[in-house]
Amino acid sequence: MAPVPSFPVKVGHIDDVQELNKAKLITVPERFVRDMADRPKLTANISSSSDIPIIDLSKLMEGDKDERFSEVMQLKTACEEWGFFQVLNHGIDLNVLENMEKVAKDFFMLPLHEKQKYPMAPGTVQGYGQAFVFSENQKLDWCNMFALGVEPPCIRNPKLWPSNPANFREILEIYSREIRELCKILLKYIAVSLGLKGEVFEEMFRVAVQAVRMNYYPPCSRPDLVLGLSPHSDGSALTVLQHGKDSSVGLQILKDQTWLPVQPIPNALVINIGDTLEVLTNGKYKSVEHRAVTHKEKDRLSIVTFYAPSYEIELGPMPELVDEKNPCRYRRYNHGEYSKHYVTNKLQGKRTLEFAKIQPNNSN
């Protein structure tokens, strides 16, 4: 089963942001207006994101010895210093990506009453609505979400898989299979970059948990006052993001205390390290805080897949990555417990990772 809160959740009235955009409001409703310190500065230099690493998967899989070594080193740097990279030549047919983008967009373009047949219950993270809302006075994101558990089958809620668009289910199944294989391949080379055997994560994760969340950010009359998605790190091991074609640039990552916009490369996928991989690598590879901003005239669509270990397994830093110079920074815990902790707390930077950290002993 997917984690659910064990307490009653009152979220108050949540406006649908697509309906707000259609109403052409000049004033943004108060629940969406961020406190001054949290408002985005929209003058960020787009070119500053050009340093985000690019990994060519074909060189890792098919290159000669020197090309493979060079690309593994580049992957190591990407995971150590950025926690984010874009992957080219990932092997997924572009038709698969285009079909997924089309059915996701078609779903969001349905009338509100149609989308509301698949509601996200308060405090849960599957269905249509806004996730990670736990109180009536919590600030809201300028975003509509549609999220589904995919694998293993026990985390699916079949009632939330839409019959409209007609081919949605079939296309999502094909897409998710391809993304799952990509995650396995990436984790193999991430293991190699750590000096570990390539199969270590696949063996450890058992039947990996996979979920997808489609995010739709309509234009906002005051993008300087709102956030499309609150700052957070992901609870997954790996996250794969597909950026909709012709969408505004909205994803930003926190690097050296500065928010950098991620300029998508055509046909590439954006990958980021999640909290789970940070724990397993004892902090060598770190999850990175990221957020989404909105645009005054352009909308944005993203399709995000979260890939994580089975809920049943115990997790902690891998012994090979703990020594005198790198003492153990995280405790062992059940991954299902951490997942429940993650989805039953609002998005707030990397705060959910405190769950796993070993607190320093301040006693004399």
Q: Which residues contact 282 (CB under 8 A, 6 or more apart)?
A: 317, 318, 321, 322, 326, 328, 329, 330
User: pLDDT tens for residues 164-176?
Assistant: 999 999 999 999 9
- In this structure, the number of other CB atoms found within 10 A of the CB of residue 95 comes to 9
Task: Give the pLDDT confidence score for residue 1 in this predicted structure.
Answer: 44
* Phi, psi for 287 (deg, rounded to 5): -70, 150
Q: Is the pLDDT of residue 201 over 80?
A: yes
Q: Is the pLDDT of residue 291 over 70?
A: yes
Share of the chain above pLDDT 90, in %: 66
The answer to whether residues 48 and 56 touch, using CB atoms and an 8 Å cutoff, is: no
What's the chain's average pLDDT?
A: 88
Task: Give the pLDDT confidence score for residue 6 in this predicted structure.
Answer: 45
User: pLDDT tens for residues 75-105?
Assistant: 999 999 999 999 999 999 999 999 999 999 9
User: pLDDT tens for residues 313-333?
Assistant: 999 999 999 998 999 999 998
* Confidence at 305, pLDDT banded by 50, 70, 90: very high
* Confidence at 336, pLDDT banded by 50, 70, 90: confident
Task: Give the pLDDT confidence score for residue 346 in this predicted structure.
Answer: 57
Q: Identify the weakest region by mean pLDDT among 54-63, 304-313, 342-351.
A: 342-351
Tokens representing residue 10 in the block: 């009152």
Q: Is the pLDDT of residue 134 over 90?
A: no
Task: Give the pLDDT confidence score for residue 24 in this predicted structure.
Answer: 86
**What's the rounded Cα separation, in Å, for the pair 338 and 294?**
30
* Confidence at 270, pLDDT banded by 50, 70, 90: very high
Q: Is the pLDDT of residue 247 over 50?
A: yes
Task: Give the pLDDT confidence score for residue 351 in this predicted structure.
Answer: 67
118-147 average pLDDT score: 84
- In this structure, the number of other CB atoms found within 10 A of the CB of residue 149 comes to 21
Q: Is the pLDDT of residue 15 over 50?
A: yes
User: pLDDT tens for residues 16-66?
Assistant: 889 989 988 888 998 989 989 889 987 644 445 557 899 999 999 998 999
The answer to whether residues 126 and 160 touch, using CB atoms and an 8 Å cutoff, is: yes
CA of residue 296 relative to chain centroid, distance: 24
pLDDT greater at residue 7 or residue 52: 52
**What's the rounded Cα separation, in Å, for the pair 10 and 7?**
10
Q: Identify the weakest region by mean pLDDT among 17-21, 133-137, 275-279.
A: 133-137
Task: Select, from the ranges 45-54, 125-134, 194-203, 332-341, the one with the highest average predicted confidence (pLDDT).
Answer: 194-203
Closest Cα to residue 251, out of 235, 225, 269, 274? 269
Task: Give the pLDDT confidence score for residue 47 in this predicted structure.
Answer: 46
* Confidence at 342, pLDDT banded by 50, 70, 90: confident
Q: Is the pLDDT of residue 260 over 70?
A: yes
Task: Give the pLDDT confidence score for residue 248 in this predicted structure.
Answer: 81
Share of the chain above pLDDT 70, in %: 89
Task: Give the pLDDT confidence score for residue 211 in this predicted structure.
Answer: 95
Tokens representing residue 294 in the block: 């909105």
DSSP 172: H
Q: Is the pLDDT of residue 363 over 50?
A: no
Q: How far is CA 171 from CA 26, 142, 188, 233, 357, in A?
A: 38, 27, 26, 28, 39
307-314 average pLDDT score: 93
Q: Three-state SS string across 9-66, please? A: CCCCCCCCHHHHHHCCCCCCCHHHCCCHHHCCCCCCCHHHHHHCCEEEHHHHHHCCHH
Q: Identify the weakest region by mean pLDDT among 11-25, 71-85, 204-218.
A: 11-25
Task: Select, from the ranges 27-31, 129-133, 193-197, 353-357, the one with the highest average predicted confidence (pLDDT).
Answer: 193-197
Q: Is 74 helix (H, G, I), strand (E, B) or coil?
A: helix
